[in-house]
Amino acid sequence: MSTNPLDFYKEFDPKVIESFNRLQDLVLCEGALPQKSKVLIAMAIDVEQSALQGATALGRRALKLGATKEEIIEPLRVAYYVGGNRALFTSAQVLQNLFKQDKNPNPPTTSSETILSDTKSKNDGKKEP
């Protein structure tokens, strides 16, 4: 069974998925910018929008196109610059999904608020420096 939700969607509305595929082929093809660059840009946009599954899929695609770890990290920095801490936490999850050895197929979707509240509860009664 495919983990791509669009494969399931296609059963209900194949015309929309065909349209999406044509647009994706047009946008992410070789052109004035190399395909790898376009995929990295799309990954950064997904990160800024907190679209973890899409950002991870685009990161995997960029790696297949020959992207290095450094080429993955730089657009993540841009996403953080534009999107703030929300993008930073999504970036961290993308990096885990792409490079962690024991990949979890269903990574937690922990928000920065949850992480921050967990940290605060662990530090209750302790003063921060």
Confidence of residue 3 (pLDDT cuts 50, 70, 90): confident
Confidence of residue 83 (pLDDT cuts 50, 70, 90): very high
Within 10 A of 43 (CB to CB), how many other CB atoms are there?
A: 28
46's enclosing H/E stretch is helix 35-48
Confidence of residue 87 (pLDDT cuts 50, 70, 90): very high
Q: Collapse the DSSP code of 114 into the 3-class scheme (helix H, G, I; strand E, B; otherwise coil) and give the result.
A: helix
CB 76 within 8 A of CB 95: yes
Q: Which has the higher per-residue pLDDT, 104 or 67?
A: 67
**Integer Cα distance of 71 and 85 in angstroms:** 20
SS3 content of the chain, % helix, strand, coil (to 5): 70, 0, 30
Q: What percent of the chain stands above pLDDT 90?
A: 71
**Number of helices and strands (H, E) in the chain?**
7, 0
**Integer Cα distance of 63 and 40 in angstroms:** 10
Query: pLDDT, tens digit, for every residue of 5-47?
Result: 889 999 999 999 999 999 999 999 999 999 999 999 999 999 9
Q: What percent of the chain stands above pLDDT 70?
A: 77
pLDDT given at position 127: 46
User: pLDDT at residue 107 above 80?
Assistant: no
Spell out the residues 6+ positions from residue 124 whose beta carbon is closer than 8 angstroms to its own: none
CB 35 within 8 A of CB 28: yes
Query: pLDDT, tens digit, for every residue of 49-64?
Result: 999 999 999 999 999 9
Q: Average pLDDT, whole number, for the chain?
A: 84
